[in-house]
Structure 1
Amino acid sequence: MSIKRLLRTFKVQNYWQRQGLIKYIFVFLFLGFAFRIVSVNQLDAGKVSLQEKGVKQTINKLTETARRGDILDRNGEILASSLILKKVNLDPTKVQLEYIPKLATALNMSNKKLSKILAKKRKIGSRYLIIKKNLMLTDPIISNIVKLQKEKIKDRTKVCRIKKKKDKVELLDRALSFLKVKEIKITYSNIKSCQKEKIDGLVLQEDTYRSYPKGASLAPLLGRTHRDSGIETEFNHVLAGQDGKKQLKYNQNSRGSYFIPEIISTLKHGQDIKLTIDSKIQYHAYTALEKSVKKHAADSGSAIILAANGEVLAMANYPADDPNDRSVYNAENYRNRVLSDKVEPGSTMKPFTMVLALDQNKITATADELIDVSKSIGHIKSD
């Protein structure tokens, strides 16, 4: 028999058996896929179906922060206001070591100090570090950070990384391992790879700062945010406003818009509050009170100035802290003694007695004047 005829015989030998085997394989695969499709549709993720879970994963919630209202005096002078600032947030686990010198220069810090801070945070696995905060929009640090983030490819720093690569195994060794004749130990080699990258782990975020331009003179009256005192707390529901919340939800039935914004709560900025206080009169009252308390070595002092119609023009207390200094908080120095301290009825009537005596020219308002009460006080004689 010739070789050509032998090959032809080999090709047609068991043809129907081989064809039947292939058909069985395809049928088996089809049944397997069909079973998997049914099981996935009926699969539950806890108490939620897999389909519902997939829809929930497409939901994205957005929050718009409400701006806190200002506190003004009777003339429109700002007594408390929220400034829009910036802060620099770092992820110590992502900032490349090669970028530390550039980052330190941008932050106006020493290279050594920044390296030490990042190493300490990286050691404990911290991924959140506010390295700079309360930055005014005109601060050079902000422009430095933006410039560093937007570096062109040619100006970027070359970052080197050590990667582990699986060592190549010879074909013969793999065959012997497959046949379980020889056991192969998998080994890895360290390969150094260097390429230019953008700085990573650096974010410039928006921040707000509550500013009190008049300092300590109004601190006990206004109080401070996140502290239980003053106008800031009493009228927080008016000043704070309401954050706006939206939910972006995937909608496959919508036309042209796959994510329909659904408003959960409407954004409402805080309202301004206008007081009857005159900030200039308040300042002079506070300054005079401070001098008087220090002169007489008193523990504290309070003063209130009213207009003819009863409106409060000034309400001063001393001692008081500067609310712009967040490093110090003494609750006693934020206590509004005019409203909170108890005063005996007799003491409250003394100013009226003095005013009556002045009005009837019984006494004069001179600094050196003494009133002799050794014999009598008015019509009441002493024993």
Structure 2
Amino acid sequence: MSSSRDGRSRDPRRPGSSPRSGRGPAPRDRQARPRGSEGRRPARETPPPRRPRSGPPPRRPGGGGGTNPPPRRPVRRGNPRRRLNTAGILMGVILLVFAGRLVQIQAIDAPEYAAAAEDMRLKSIDIPTTRGDITDSSGDALALSVEARTVFVDPVAVRDDERDRLVDELTRRFDLDRSEVARKVDAEPRRYEVVAEKVAPEDWKAMEELGLSGVGALTDYKRVYPDETGAADLVGFTGADGHGLEGLEGIMDGTLAGEPGKQQVEMGAGGVRIPMAEGLAQEPVPGKDVRLTLERDIQWHASQALAERAEELDAAGASAIVMRPNGEVLAMADYPSYDQSDYSDYSADDRANGAVADAFEPGSTNKVITLAGALEEGLTTPERVYKVPYSVQIHDRRFKDDHFHKTQNLTLNGILAQSSNVGTIKVGQQLGAQRLHDYLRKFGFGEPTGLDLPGENAGILADPDDWWGTQLPSISFGQGLSVNAAQMASVYATIANGGVRVEPTLVSGTVGEDGGFEASDEPPRERVVSAETAEELTRMLEAVTGEHGTAESAQIPNYRVAGKTGTANRVNPETGDYDGHTSMFVGFAPADDPELVVQVVLHDPKDEYYGSEAAAPVFTDIMSFALKSEKVPPTGTEPPNIRLFGDG
């Protein structure tokens, strides 16, 4: 150790000492190197701090009165081999994860990913199926489906040298707008453009034989309704998608429609489908045919006779029903009607099935129920005599018969044959409100017919507890309640069937693809009156068409006919007030062995509105044709001699 000038020893390793002899003190801006333990130098010196690139230079140690910063602590460096090993392990783990994921994707989950990729490219579409036919009882079609074609173009596949000819041929053959066809032919890169729908197969075949590129066709079906069936309001129609919208087409859609097939279709750019890449995935299941109880010839004749009379009398509407006593409907005609192929050109009122949709007061046709209840309850007999004046005052209302007459002694037979309102009121008072209401219900009033047709109006029948002073006499002869034509036809079918009511039916059953027939369930049956009461009512109704009855015009040569006229005030559906009349006739034949029931209703006929004048001639026309069509033999017996008037 050497001595300094001031007598103190100077350690050459301390700051300010120079390790080299013959040299002055070390510059102040250099820091002394830190020592290791026991005077050894450390393995590596800490480099001096770098000077910033910008800003004022750092203050030099010892300058400007500043103090020296404390020496930096040495930085310990880890073992580089350890770091390399750790990094290698991490990279190995990551690679293992990637490798495992690749194995999962390419081996384990490969089918799922392939299916997902296919789903993005392939779509499943419905293949149209054959809709079942609607036929009459003999299998004659009232609605059927015929094969058709949907013509399309693939713009990508159209050759340039055939483009103009293709546009011309499509325009001419299918009666299309040329500019619209040209736009679709030029719709590249699209691969599928529908040009024409519901094309007849023979028309497409002629087009196909030209051999033009880029044009094709898919099988489809269109609904056809044979002309002049007279059943449009009953059968209804289908929409553009082939599903039923109204009538039997609508309510039987689940049976008629069948089940469409499935087809795998490749989707091109922009989501357009490429029909050429189609593959069948599921066969379509054809719909079942629906066989009705209708007879096509009777249906057609009934509609023609009804329309002719309705137009002659300028009626607002009309309906006619032909039914067997067991409830099977052979015809259900309505006026006005419409063309099912152009249904959008007609209003909803024109398309409604008035036989079930139009409710009306039954008038004198309802009298048979009042008399049936009184006979069944043992309150009267056909020969009982009633004193019947022209009118009667009840509470604040005076009830009258249709034509003036002096006070008469009428039997119960005579009350019905003469259609006396006053006489029927007397019988109704014997029966009473509750029992009258019960028989009206038993005969089917105030509830649906069971035909399940759309738009059915079940009519109005108030609870007897709500009847007030004059409702019992009013309802007795057919005012103050409402029914539809099918309900009233069912009343007379019940009498013709020996007093047993069978719920009306239209659908006989269905026919499957194999041609096998499956019958519908048997309709409900209920005895309403005894066979004896039904027979007495039949004789009384036969007197209505006799010499002293109100409906001689309903007679049919060689057949005994039982029936009843009806004339009621018509309720205007728009105002709710009485406006015009409803004319009716309903009856059955042959009276001694009933086979057919016919109901005719004319709404608001002009000039002639009494049932015997307006409706009875239509009944005669339709019944005569139906008896011949069904080959019903003429009646072999004479009508009984029925006493209508009492002594005195």
Which range, TM-score by smaller chain?
0.5 to 0.7
Look up the match of 1:134: 198
2:181 aligned partner: 118
Q: Work out which of the residue numbers 346, 360, 370 in structure 1 matches 2:363.
A: 346
Once the two structures are superposed, what CA deviation does each residue of 1:181-234 show, in whole Å capped at 9, x if it has no partner?
Answer: xxxxxxxxxxxxxxxxxx22x221111001111456111101112454211111
Pick from 99, 105, 117: which aligns with 1:38?
A: 99
Q: Helix, strand or coil for the counterpart of 2:341? A: coil
Deviation digits for residues 243-283 of structure 1 (CA, Å, limit 9, x no counterpart) = 344889xxxxxxxxxxxx998x7753211111111111111
Give the SS at the match of 2:545.
helix
What SS does the aligned partner of 1:217 have? coil
Q: 2:292 aligns with which of 275, 282, 301?
A: 275
1:212 matched to 2:199? The reply is no
> 2:229 matched to 1:229?
no
315, 319, 329: which one pairs with 1:312?
Answer: 329
Q: Which amino acid aligns with 1:84?
A: E
Quick check: 1:100–1:111 contact (8 Å CA) kept in 2?
no
Please give the alpha-carbon distance, in whole angstroms, between the structure 2 residues aligned to 1:214 and 1:110. 25
**Structure 2 counterpart of 1:220, one-letter code:** D
What's the TM-score, normalizing by structure 2? 0.36
**Residue 150 of structure 2 corresponds to which residue in structure 1?**
87
Q: 2:136 touches 2:293 (CA, 8 Å); kept in 1?
A: yes
- Aligned AA for 1:307? R
Q: 1:113 to 1:292 in 2, by over 3 A?
A: closer
What does 1:89-104 correspond to in 2, within 5 Å?
Answer: 89-91=152-154, 95=158, 98-104=161-167
Residue type of the alignment partner of 1:55: A
Distance 1:123 1:89, change over 3 A: closer
Structure 1 stretches lacking a partner, 5+ long: 1-30, 150-198, 249-260, 372-377
| 2:302 corresponds to | 285
Query: Per-residue deviation at 1:56?
Result: 2.9
Q: Distance in 1 between matches of 2:339 and 2:224?
A: 10
Counterpart AA for 1:212: Y
* Contact 1:69–1:271 (Cα < 8 Å) also in 2: yes
Greater radius of gyration (CA) = 2
Query: Cα 1:51–1:268, aligned 2, differ >3 Å: closer, same or farther?
Result: closer
User: Could you say if the C-alpha distance between residues 360 and 57 of structure 1 is closer, same or farther in structure 2, counting changes exceeding 3 Å?
Assistant: farther
After superposition, the CA RMSD in angstroms is 4.5
Q: Any conservation in 1 of the 2:229–2:296 contact (CA below 8 Å)?
A: no
Change in 2 beyond 3 A, CA 1:324/1:82: same
Partner SS state of residue 109, structure 1: helix
- Pick closer, same or farther for the CA change 1:85–1:247 going to 2, 3 Å: closer
1:328: which partner in 2?
345
Equivalent-residue separation in structure 1 for 2:306 and 2:291 (angstroms): 24
Q: Percent identity?
A: 28
- CA distance in 2: counterparts of 1:112 and 1:339, whole angstroms: 41
Aligned-partner Cα distance in 2 for 1:348–1:245: 56
- 1:345 deviates by 3.4
* Structure 1 residue 102: Cα displacement: 2.3
> In 2, Cα distance between the equivalents of 1:347 and 1:297?
23
**CA distance 1:70–1:318, shift in 2 (3 Å):** same
Q: Following TM superposition, by how much is the alpha carbon of 1:128 offset from its aligned partner in structure 2, in angstroms? A: 5.4
Alignment of 1:365 onto 2:365? no
Secondary structure class of the residue paired with 1:325: helix
Q: Which residue matches 2:139?
A: 76
Judging changes above 3 Å, is the alpha-carbon distance between structure 1 residues 112 and 235 closer, same or farther for their aligned structure 2 residues? closer
Contact conserved, 2:132 with 2:286, CA < 8 A, in 1? yes
Matched, 1:144 2:161: no
Of 239, 263, 270, which aligns to 2:256? 239
Match of 1:56 among 110, 113, 116: 116
- TM-score, scaled relative to structure 1: 0.58
Cα distance 1:106–1:343, how it changes in 2: closer, same or farther (>3 A)?
same
Q: CA deviation at 1:357?
A: 2.0
SS at match of 2:194: strand
Q: CA shift at 1:84, angstroms?
A: 0.8
